[in-house]
Amino acid sequence: MRDYFVTEDNRQSGQLLRNAVLFGRMLRALGIEVTPTQMVDLVDSLHFVDIRSRRDFKHSARAVLVNQREQIPLFDEAFDLFWQARREGELLELDLGTLLQKHQQQEMELYRRNPSAGESQSDSQEPEEERLLTYSDRELLRQKDFARLDDEELVTVQRMMQGIQWQLEPRRTRRHVRARQGQLIDLRRTMRQTLRHGGEVMQFTYRERKTKRRPVVLICDISGSMERYSRVLLQFIYIVTSRLDRVESFVFSTRLTRITRQLQRRNIDDALREASAVVHDWAGGTRIGEAIRTFNYDWARRVLNQGAVVMIISDGWDRGDVQLLGREMDRLHRSCHRLIWLNPLLGAEDYQPLVRGIQAALPHIDDFLPVHNLASLEQLAAILY
């Protein structure tokens, strides 16, 4: 069976490294604690094994990433599921819930046959069966629609949301920095070093393009049709704002309001309270085209420099001019590096993009993604990297 991206060419191109990072995120989503240090050790170990050998690659990854013996069966199934994908998009469609549920059922059956074994293997003080049920409840919350969460579940989801790692694809700047090796020779430093050796070139020095994290712009719909999702999505925006640099946040219903300064408070409740205070059209009508036009004319030049990523969160219901929405979306798409539309209704199995706002926007967006539960946010985090 052919392995996925496990070739020498892909290692040199960096594709294997990217998928190794995605695999680490998948393991964290399944409950296997993988630290950044372990990921660095995994990358270093690839220089000492034949990555064309599926068996060697799997055992190396298991030795570096797994800390508990009882996690080995789950790791093996996750490894086989991840590295057998045939296309890149398939990595983001893996059914982690089914895999985790299957593993939990196996552990539950083992516990029923030998209850004492679970107690000896667990570091937790609570019974094994109770621990498994609690973990299963957390997995159910990952898949549960935000609109169906009660107040207690909202608090739990907020804590789980804070565990998502947000990293944006870096961009290369025009500036150069020192590098240990590369293709660009730093002539100035090289010639300066030759003075120490009587003008003889003993060693070349190199430079490379400096990379910086891209800015992020979040524009969230808070109209009446989005009321079921608005609060939890504002919590999502607050977390992204606190984790990334240079994040600009806006909300709109009948008009656009900037809430970047309000979301910079350390306490999330204070931040959301201040943001609510400055928004005067909460749960009103929807005029997406006018809101995007206001952004393009009043804010685009200030916040879209240096290759910004723009994310619009809306269900697409629009009472305004649809032709205006199409024109302004085209203008916005040409002004930013990447335009992503996040739709909470896209998580429904029978969803079809029939509303006029979505139909006008679709030709001008790069990614059309769901944002209805924690699992969809984890997929978004993987896509952004």
Fold type of domain 216-384 = Rossmann fold (3.40.50)
CB neighbours of residue 259 within 10 Å: 26
Amino acid at 257: T
Q: What is the per-residue pLDDT across 275-323, written as a single tens digit (0 to 9) for each?
A: 989 998 887 888 999 999 999 999 999 999 888 999 999 999 988 899 9
Return the bridge partners of 211, or none. 172
Q: What is the per-residue pLDDT across 168-187, written as a single tens digit (0 to 9) for each?
A: 777 666 676 677 777 777 77
Q: Average per-residue pLDDT in the chain?
A: 78
What is the spatial distance between Cα 163 and Cα 173, in angstroms, rounded to a whole number? 30
Higher pLDDT, 351 or 78: 351
**Residue 172 confidence (pLDDT):** 65
Per-residue pLDDT band for 235 (boundaries 50, 70, 90) equals very high
**Residue 296 confidence (pLDDT):** 96
Please name the helix (run of DSSP H) or strand (run of DSSP E) that holds residue 60, with its range, or none: helix 54-65
What is the spatial distance between Cα 195 and Cα 251, in angstroms, rounded to a whole number? 60
Structure tokens at 238: 């607050």
Please name the helix (run of DSSP H) or strand (run of DSSP E) that holds residue 369, with its range, or none: strand 367-370
**Residue 13 confidence (pLDDT):** 44
Angle, CA 23 vertex, CA 153 and CA 167 arms, to 5° = 70
Higher pLDDT, 81 or 265: 265
User: Does residue 34 come out as left (phi exceeding 0), alpha (psi in the -120 to 50 range) or beta?
Assistant: beta
Per-residue pLDDT band for 207 (boundaries 50, 70, 90) equals confident
Structure tokens at 370: 């769901």
Whether the full predicted model's pTM is greater than 0.75, yes or no, is no
Distance (Å) of CA 160 to CA 28, 165, 282, 361: 12, 11, 26, 31
User: Residue ranges per domain, the chain?
Assistant: 8-146, 172-213, 216-384
**Residue 90 confidence (pLDDT):** 52
Describe the strand order of the beta sheet including 338-343 as a list of residue ranges.
256-258, 247-252, 216-221, 309-313, 338-343, 367-370
> In the predicted model, is pLDDT for residue 132 greater than 50?
no
What is the spatial distance between Cα 57 and Cα 51, in angstroms, rounded to a whole number? 5
Across 206-364, the runs of DSSP E, i.e. the strands, are 206-213, 216-221, 247-252, 256-258, 309-313, 338-343
Cα dihedral value 171, 173, 179, 182, nearest 10? 80
Structure tokens at 115: 């209850």
